[in-house]
Amino acid sequence: MSELINIAEIFGENVFDDATMQERLPKKVYKDLKKMIEEGKELDLATADVIAHEMKEWAIEKGATHYTHWFQPLTGTTAEKHDSFISAPMESGKVLMSFSGKELIKGEPDASSFPSGGLRATFEARGYTAWDCTSPAFVRKDAAGATLCIPTAFCSYTGEALDQKTPLLRSMEAINEQSLRLIRLFGNNTAKKVTPSVGAEQEYFLVDAKKFHERKDLIYTGRTLFGAMPPKGQELDDHYFGTIRQRIASFMKDVNEELWKMGVTAKTQHNEVAPAQHELAPIYAKANVAVDHNQIIMQTLKRVASEHGMKCLLHEKPFAGVNGSGKHNNWSLTTDEGKNLLDPGRTPHENIQFLLVLTCILKAVDEHAALLRESAADPGNDHRLGANEAPPAIVSVFLGEQLEDVLEQLITTGEATHSLNTGKLQTGVRTLPDLAKDTSDRNRTSPFAFTGNKFEFRMVGSRDSVAASNIVLNTIVADAFAQACDILEKAEDFEKAVHDLIKQYATEHYRIVFNGNGYADEWIQEAARRGLPNIRSMVDAIPALVTEDTISLFEKYHVFTRAELESRAEIKYENYAKAINIEARTMIDMASKQIIPAIIRYTKTLADTVNSVREAGADFSVQAQLLGQISELLAETKKALDVLVKETETAAAMEEGEAQARFYHDTVFPAMEALRAPVDSLEMIVDKEAWPMPSYGDLMFEV
283 sits near ligand ADP (criterion: CB under 6 A): yes
| DSSP codes of every residue in 510-541 | GGGB--S-TTSHHHHHHHHHHT--B--SHHHH
Residues 294-333 that bind Mg ion (CB under 5 A): 328
CA atoms within 13 A on the CB side of 106: 13
Whichever of 476 and 579 has its CB closer to ligand ADP, that residue is 476
Question: Which of 580, 222, 530 is CA-nearest to residue 395?
Answer: 530
Residues 6+ apart with CB under 8 A from 66: 82, 83, 84, 85, 144, 145, 146, 147, 148
426 sits near ligand ADP (criterion: CB under 6 A): no
Whichever of 326 and 694 has its CB closer to ligand ADP, that residue is 326
For residue 534, the cross-strand partners are: 394
Residues 201, 326: Cα–Cα separation, whole Å? 8
Residues 500-539 that bind ligand ADP (CB under 6 A): none
454 sits near Mg ion (criterion: CB under 5 A): no
Residue 195 carries which side chain, given as an amino acid letter? T
Q: What is the CA radius of gyration of the chain?
A: 28
| Of positions 68, 152, 224, 330, contacts ligand ADP by CB under 6 A | 330
| Of positions 107, 127, 151, 282, contacts ligand ADP by CB under 6 A | 282
Alpha-helical (H) ranges within 231-334 are 238-261, 287-307
The answer to whether the CB of 411 falls within 8 A of the CB of 499 is: no
271 sits near ligand ADP (criterion: CB under 6 A): no
Min. distance of Cβ 403 from ligand ADP in angstroms? 16
Min. distance of Cβ 326 from ligand ADP in angstroms? 12
Residues 441-470 that bind ligand ADP (CB under 6 A): 451, 453-454
199 interface partner picked from ligand ADP, Mg ion, none, CB below 5 to 8 A per type: ligand ADP
CA atoms within 13 A on the CB side of 607: 9
Taking CB under 6 A as the binding criterion, the range among 24-32, 184-192, 324-332, 396-404 that sits at the site for ligand ADP is 324-332
Whichever of 328 and 499 has its CB closer to Mg ion, that residue is 328
**What is residue 654's three-state secondary structure?**
coil
Taking CB under 6 A as the binding criterion, the range among 107-115, 151-159, 197-205, 531-539 that sits at the site for ligand ADP is 197-205
**φ, ψ of residue 627 in degrees (nearest 5):** -60, -45
Residue 508 carries which side chain, given as an amino acid letter? E
User: 281: part of which helix (H) or strand (E)?
Assistant: strand 277-282
Residues 385-424 that bind ligand ADP (CB under 6 A): none
345 sits near ligand ADP (criterion: CB under 6 A): no
Whichever of 120 and 328 has its CB closer to Mg ion, that residue is 328
Min. distance of Cβ 393 from ligand ADP in angstroms? 21
Whichever of 164 and 446 has its CB closer to Mg ion, that residue is 446
Taking CB under 6 A as the binding criterion, the range among 52-60, 95-103, 193-201, 360-368 that sits at the site for ligand ADP is 193-201
145: left (phi over 0), alpha (psi -120 to 50) or beta: left
| Of positions 340, 507, 594, 631, contacts ligand ADP by CB under 6 A | 340
573 interface partner picked from Mg ion, ligand ADP, none, CB below 5 to 8 A per type: none
Whichever of 52 and 460 has its CB closer to Mg ion, that residue is 460
332 interface partner picked from Mg ion, ligand ADP, none, CB below 5 to 8 A per type: ligand ADP
**What is the bridge-based pairing of β-strands 64-70 and 145-156?**
parallel
Residues 396, 541: Cα–Cα separation, whole Å? 16
Whichever of 328 and 384 has its CB closer to Mg ion, that residue is 328
DSSP structure class, residue 544: G
The answer to whether the CB of 588 falls within 8 A of the CB of 645 is: yes
CA angle 368, 370, 374 (to 5 degrees): 115
Min. distance of Cβ 332 from ligand ADP in angstroms? 3
Burial 142-165 (b: 16+ CB within 10 A, else e): eeeebbbbbbbbbbbeeebbbbbb
Question: Which of 385, 604, 420, 484 is CA-nearest to residue 182?
Answer: 484
User: Closest CB to ligand ADP belongs to which residue?
Assistant: 199
117 interface partner picked from Mg ion, ligand ADP, none, CB below 5 to 8 A per type: none
Whichever of 449 and 686 has its CB closer to ligand ADP, that residue is 449
Whichever of 95 and 283 has its CB closer to ligand ADP, that residue is 283
Burial 233-271 (b: 16+ CB within 10 A, else e): beebeeebeeebeeebeebbbbbbbbbbbbbbbbeebee
Taking CB under 6 A as the binding criterion, the range among 194-202, 218-226, 391-399, 614-622 that sits at the site for ligand ADP is 194-202
311 interface partner picked from ligand ADP, Mg ion, none, CB below 5 to 8 A per type: none
| DSSP codes of every residue in 399-443 | --HHHHHHHHHHHHHSS--B-TTT--B--STT--PPPPSS-----
Min. distance of Cβ 343 from ligand ADP in angstroms? 8
Min. distance of Cβ 259 from Mg ion in angstroms? 19
Min. distance of Cβ 631 from Mg ion in angstroms? 49
Question: Going along 80-237, which residue ranges are E strands?
Answer: 82-84, 106-107, 127-131, 138-142, 145-156, 194-208
463 interface partner picked from Mg ion, ligand ADP, none, CB below 5 to 8 A per type: none
The answer to whether the CB of 325 falls within 8 A of the CB of 278 is: no
Whichever of 308 and 328 has its CB closer to Mg ion, that residue is 328
299 sits near ligand ADP (criterion: CB under 6 A): no
Whichever of 452 and 543 has its CB closer to ligand ADP, that residue is 452
| DSSP codes of every residue in 13-44 | TTB--HHHHHHHS-HHHHHHHHHHHHH-PPPP
| Of positions 284, 354, 523, 669, contacts ligand ADP by CB under 6 A | 284
Whichever of 147 and 445 has its CB closer to Mg ion, that residue is 445
Q: How many residues bind ligand ADP (CB under 6 A)?
A: 16
Site of interaction with ligand ADP (CB under 6 A) = 197-199, 201, 281-284, 328, 330-332, 340, 451, 453-454
Site of interaction with Mg ion (CB under 5 A) = 328
